[in-house]
């Protein structure tokens, strides 16, 4: 059982390149697990945590509807945004500058084999992070992610989540709106949920927040919740 996690800062990186990297890492871990079982070995599997900030991009989950994208190809081009239909759960969302995106590539057999618990831990991590800034994050029943003012007409989402898992190895993850241009969400029906707004830490606090400061807090709470032994920084993978 390996509870160390390689921490990789990708800075600003194209969505498709990052998706390909995640896929490669997941495949490497899954292949090793298959080999371990076939050859009766017990080689340790790696875990990764990728931080990235994407250029403007819309992504649609495998169960999502194209009707939730309100732009045609020409309009996407005019907004310098790209679009991908991908293999995570959930519907449509936006990624862009000022947003912290985290992709944990974990072998959950190193931690616990429970996808529901995994998602709840990711939500709890964000709830604890924004709570340090006086924001009360909440869960909304049946709607994965972190929200503010749940159960009121002012409910708004501050962090989206969507994952994929294969043989207990995870990919994709969460997107926390920190200093995000919320205007880009006007071009979609976020997560396929009509009539609910999206917000950011900047919008709620009335000021920009340091992305590096937020990342430190994310890692602190992630480490505590998942009982990580150590984060090992890797400049590249």
Q: Which residues are catalytic?
A: 191
**Number of CB atoms found within 10 A of residue 95's CB:** 23
CB-neighbour burial class of residue 90 (10 A; exposed 0-12, middle 13-18, buried 19+): buried
Tokens of 13: 């990186």
CA distance 55 to 124: 27
Query: Using the 8-state DSSP alphabet, how is residue 168 labeled?
Result: T
CA distance 100 to 53: 6
Residue 9: what are its φ and ψ, rounded to 5°? Answer: -95, 110
């Amino acid at each position: 059982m390996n509870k160390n996690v390689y921490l990789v800062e990708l800075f600003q990186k194209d969505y498709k390149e990052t998706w390909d990297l995640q896929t490669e890492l997941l495949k490497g871990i899954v292949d090793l697990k298959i080999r371990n079982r076939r050859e009766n070995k017990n080689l340790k599997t790696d875990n990764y945590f990728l931080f990235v900030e994407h250029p403007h991009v819309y992504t649609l989950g495998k169960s999502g509807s194209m009707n939730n994208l309100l732009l045609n190809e020409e309009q996407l081009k005019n907004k310098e945004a790209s679009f991908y239909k991908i293999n995570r759960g959930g519907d449509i969302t936006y990624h862009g500058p000022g947003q912290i995106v985290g992709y944990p590539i974990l072998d959950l057999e190193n931690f616990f084999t429970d996808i529901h618990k995994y998602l709840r831990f990711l939500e709890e991590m964000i709830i604890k992070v924004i709570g340090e800034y006086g924001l009360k994050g909440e869960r909304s029943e049946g709607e994965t992610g972190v929200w503010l003012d749940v159960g009121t007409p002012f409910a708004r989402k501050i962090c989206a989540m969507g994952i994929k898992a294969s043989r207990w190895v995870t990919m994709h993850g969460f997107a926390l709106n920190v200093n995000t241009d919320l205007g880009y969400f006007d071009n979609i029906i976020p997560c396929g949920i009509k009539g609910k707004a999206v917000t950011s830490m900047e919008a709620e606090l009335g000021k920009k927040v340091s992305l590096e400061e937020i990342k430190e807090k994310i890692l602190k709470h992630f480490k505590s919740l998942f009982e990580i032994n150590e984060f090992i920084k890797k400049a590249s993978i």
